[in-house]
Amino acid sequence: MCGLTGFLKADAFHPREELARLVARMSVTLAHRGPDDAGHWCDPEHGVALGHRRLAIVDVSAAGHQPMQSPGGRYVMVFNGEIYNHLQLRRELGGDRQRLPWRGGSDTETLLAGFEEWGVAATVERAIGMFALAVWDRQATTLTLARDRIGEKPLYYGWQGQGRARAFLFGSELKALRAHPAFEDVVDRGALCLQMRHGYIPAPYSIYTNVFKLPPGCLLTLAAPFREHALSAYWSAAGQMADGVDRPFRGSPQQAVEALDVLLRDAVGAQMVADVPLGAFLSGGVDSSTVTALMQAQSPRPVKTFSIGFFESDFNEAHHAKAVARHLGTDHTELYVTAAQARDVVPALQDSYDEPFSDSSQLPTMLVSRLARRHVTVALSGDAGDELFCGYNRYQFVDALWQKISAAPLPLRRLAARGITGVSVDAWNRAARVLGPGLPRAMRFQNTGDKLHKGAQVMTSASLDALYLGLVSHWEHPEALVRGGSEPPTALNGNAPGLDALGGLQRMMALDLLTYLPDDILVKVDRAAMGVSLETRVPLLDHRVVEFAWRLPQSYKLRDGVTKWVLRQVLYRYVPPALIERPKMGFGIPVGDWLRGPLREWGEALLAQPRLEDEGFLEPGLVRRCWTEHLSGQRNWQYPLWNVLMFQAWLAQRRAGPRAQPAPDMAAQLTGAVS
């Protein structure tokens, strides 16, 4: 796990010293991703510079230093990630030392040898792992960027600057691109619309104009005369989904359980290879417990596991994790933190996430990453089980809801919705207070008007996709909020490729795998962990597991109302069901209450009307109305407001300049009950 960056500036010869100075300035911004080593490589003739920061995981010796050249000197590469099958690739390359005198044991060296033997694209297709890389072909004068199949590792790129200052920039994080003098620092208001809707910015967009995220499973090539780049996919998640439906698994449910057990054991075992201390995040849920159980089954010593606990019972799962850890015999560490300690993390969010990002579970994720980094350098995570095995409750809810509301004609539903929204939220609440005592208990709600208005929006959905988009949107109409903003196309707003053959439940899972998983969940974990120089690995995203999951019949995932059925059966070979079976709990925090209490002053400063007017990005009247309604308890605007607040805080940090990066042992500053 590392950080990479670089640029190509092909308008004229550039002195080596100038290239080295610029790329070093970009690389130093990524020191948190790679505190163990740093390096750069420059080609003055073509204006190419590659920079690297290293977190040494496999082959911690100097033989793993980057940038690294291939055996014949043709390719020079910077690489971030892990290739779990790199020893197998070495054997395929004829890895006896007479043919290939390996300098060390790093997967970087393996990839470079593969490039010379098979070419860049063919080598990437053979690789099993998580990665982002940039490789310069000195013979063909071609720059290639590549990203792993699901998008575990980040990679940004884009042309910036004008005239002779124009340069193609790339890097693991946006802060590296910002350090180059050609960077233009222009906010993309369309991308801001997406952030307001979802709480994250889906690939290929970024918060900056003309800066993009390389989509998962893609290669980008830039060849002389370096005016245009070409994108190509070497693996397609949408294609694998369609293929899985066309070629379903034909075995029995028990055969599926056995096959998944074998596949997951292999994936987990491969991801346990490291030359540094290794552990796992453990929440006590199905996904993290499965990964931990399979780790412990293959480890000769207790696996180190880590959990964060909260004193508020509605948000605490630590006792469940502790019970699973005790049963498996892991070396378990838990840290109970107060709400005040969690809130203290808020000012550090913008440096870690680098563009507006507002999944509030980023706070506990940062806390558990800091805790784990005190003991290990690598942590395995259970992410992706919900998207692959139908784990989110919203899938069943939306499917059932659509079957009910679609029975009524759309014009009739729209007429009813207009009738509901024609009465103000306040008026509905007053009516509920008058009529409430006479209504059955099941029909008494808090914030009745808020719920009725939200229900009215649902009623106007023209399709299941539209219904799902509405329910996963924080701001239903972000163009009304963002001044001059127009929402660009995404997989969620009608531009999802190749999903026509999928049923309703499958479509929602597919959309999450294409958007929410890589652009929210994986971003959240990567930035939180790498902010403290911790590598995270996600065994469920081994692409062989993903492909197998999509071949399984839907009835093997959702069975008699039980979510993730086939994954649960694997887990129950190692952990009793009684330790796992309970209502699903999200990894969340009480943002709504905090905004009315201890974060109110912070929020008020960021949402002050004169400030909003001066900045010119958001409609002050709309923001202030929502803020006032939330503070009064009239409506719950916690998620829309958190999106706005994270943008406002990002904007403030951008103007003030970067804060100092937290040290890897920053968790030691936390106080609480540790066991």
Same domain for 333 and 368, yes or no, is yes
CA distances (Å), 230 to each of 191, 206, 618, in order? 22, 19, 35
Asked if 59 and 12 sit in the same domain, the reply is yes
Is the confidence at residue 448, as pLDDT, over 80?
Answer: no
Neighbours of 427 (CB within 10 A): 11
How far is the C-alpha of 220 from the C-alpha of 223, rounded, in Å?
10
Does 81 fall in a domain? yes
DSSP secondary structure code for residue 298 in this structure:
T
pLDDT tens for each residue of 216-240: 999 999 998 888 899 999 999 999 9
Q: How confident is the model at residue 179 (pLDDT cuts 50, 70, 90)?
A: very high
User: 438 or 530, which is more confident?
Assistant: 530
Q: Do 189 and 332 belong to one domain?
A: no
* Residues 179, 104 share a domain: yes
Domain holding 269: CATH number? 3.40.50.620
The pLDDT value given to residue 587: 60
pLDDT for 662:
39
Considering the domain architecture, whether residues 197 and 63 belong to the same structural domain is answered as: yes
Contact 672, 336 (CB under 8 A): yes
Residue 536, in any domain of the structure: yes
SS (H, E, C) 527-544: HHHHCCCCEEECHHHCHH
Residue type, 155: L
pLDDT at 455 over 80: no
Per-residue model confidence (pLDDT) at position 444: 52
CA–CA separation, 43 vs 50, rounded Å? 9
Domain membership of residue 286 (yes or no) is yes
Tokens of 309: 């606990």
Task: End-to-end CA distance of the chain: give it in Å, rounded.
Answer: 28
Residues 295 and 433 in one domain: no
Query: Domain of 53: which CATH number?
Result: 3.60.20.10
Question: Which of 482, 506, 530 marks a domain boundary?
Answer: 506
Percentage of the chain beyond pLDDT 90 is 69
**11 against 230, higher pLDDT:** 230
Q: Which of 207, 235, 263 is the last residue of a domain?
A: 235
Q: Is residue 139 part of a domain?
A: yes
The model's pLDDT over 390-444, given as tens digits with 9 standing for 90+, comes to 999 999 989 988 998 888 888 888 888 888 888 877 787 778 777 767 666 544 5
pLDDT at residue 545 greater than cutoff 90: yes
Give the end of a domain, one of 579, 602, 636.
579
Q: Which of 2, 193, 390, 626 is catalytic?
A: 2
Residue 673 has pLDDT above 50, yes or no: no
Beta bridge partners of 673: 336
**Per-residue 3-state assignment (H helix, E strand, C coil) for 323-381:** HHHHHHCCEEEEEEECHHHHHCCHHHHHHHHCCCCCCCCHHHHHHHHHHHHCCCCEEEC
For residues 51 and 182, state if they share a domain. Answer: yes
pLDDT at 661: 42
Assigned domain for 584 exists: no
The pLDDT value recorded for residue 125 is 98
Give yes or no: residues 95 and 205 share one domain.
yes
Specify if 464 maps to a domain. Answer: yes
Question: For 295-322, what is the mean pLDDT?
Answer: 89
- Can you read off the two tokens belonging to residue 8? 């190509």
Mean of the per-residue pLDDT values of the chain: 90
Q: Which residues contact 546 (CB under 8 A, 6 or more apart)?
A: 149, 150, 237, 240, 384, 388, 513, 540
Q: 538 pLDDT exceeds 60? A: yes
Tokens of 370: 């800091």
Q: Is residue 366 part of a domain?
A: yes
Chain centroid to Cα 273, Å, comes to 23
Q: What is the average per-residue pLDDT within 651-656?
A: 87
Number of separate domains in the chain: 4
What is the C-alpha to C-alpha distance for residues 52 and 31, in angstroms, rounded to an integer?
9
User: How much of the chain, in percent, has pLDDT values that exceed 70?
Assistant: 92
Task: Please write the tens of the pLDDT for every residue from 552-572.
Answer: 999 999 999 999 999 999 999
Gap between the Cα atoms of 257 and 570, Å rounded: 6
pLDDT of residue 535: 96
Q: What number is the average pLDDT over the span 120-135?
A: 98
To 5 degrees, how large is the angle CA 548–CA 252–CA 501? 50
Average pLDDT (458-466) is 86
Q: In the predicted model, is pLDDT for residue 621 greater than 60?
A: yes
Instruction: Give the long-range contacts of residues 43-46, CB within 8 A, separation 24 or more.
Output: 43/19, 43/136, 43/138, 44/13, 44/14, 44/15, 44/16, 44/19, 45/13, 46/8, 46/10, 46/141, 46/224
**28 shares its domain with 39:** yes
* Same domain, residue pair 254 and 231: no
Listed in order, strand segments (DSSP E) in 36-107 are 37-43, 48-54, 68-69, 75-83
2 is catalytic: yes
Q: Give the SS3 label for residue 157.
A: strand
- Write down the pLDDT at residue 442: 45
Same domain, 50 and 122: yes
Q: What is the pLDDT of residues 77-122, one digit of tens each?
A: 999 999 999 999 999 998 544 566 788 989 999 999 999 999 999 9
Pair of tokens at residue 108: 């970087």
Per the domain annotation, does 586 fall within a domain?
A: no
pTM: 0.92
**Nearest to 141, CA basis, from 221, 22, 232, 220:** 221
Polymer length of the chain:
675
Neighbour-count burial for 200-212, b at 16+ CB within 10 Å, e otherwise: bbbbbbbbbbebb
Query: Which residue has better confidence, 87 or 589?
Result: 87
Q: How do beta strands 304-310 and 68-69 pair?
A: unpaired
The CB density around residue 251, as the number of other CB atoms within 10 Å, is 14
pLDDT one-digit tens code per residue, 12-58: 778 999 999 999 999 999 999 999 999 999 999 999 999 999 988 87
d(CA 143, CA 521): 29
Q: Give pLDDT tens digits for 602-611.
A: 999 999 999 9
Closest residue by Cα to residue 84 from 537, 513, 533, 545: 537
* Residue 245, amino acid: V
Please indicate, yes or no, whether residues 179 and 39 belong to a single structural domain of this protein: yes
Q: Could you give the CA distance from residue 205 to residue 177 in angstroms, rounded to a whole number?
A: 15
For residue 449, the enclosing domain spans 393-506
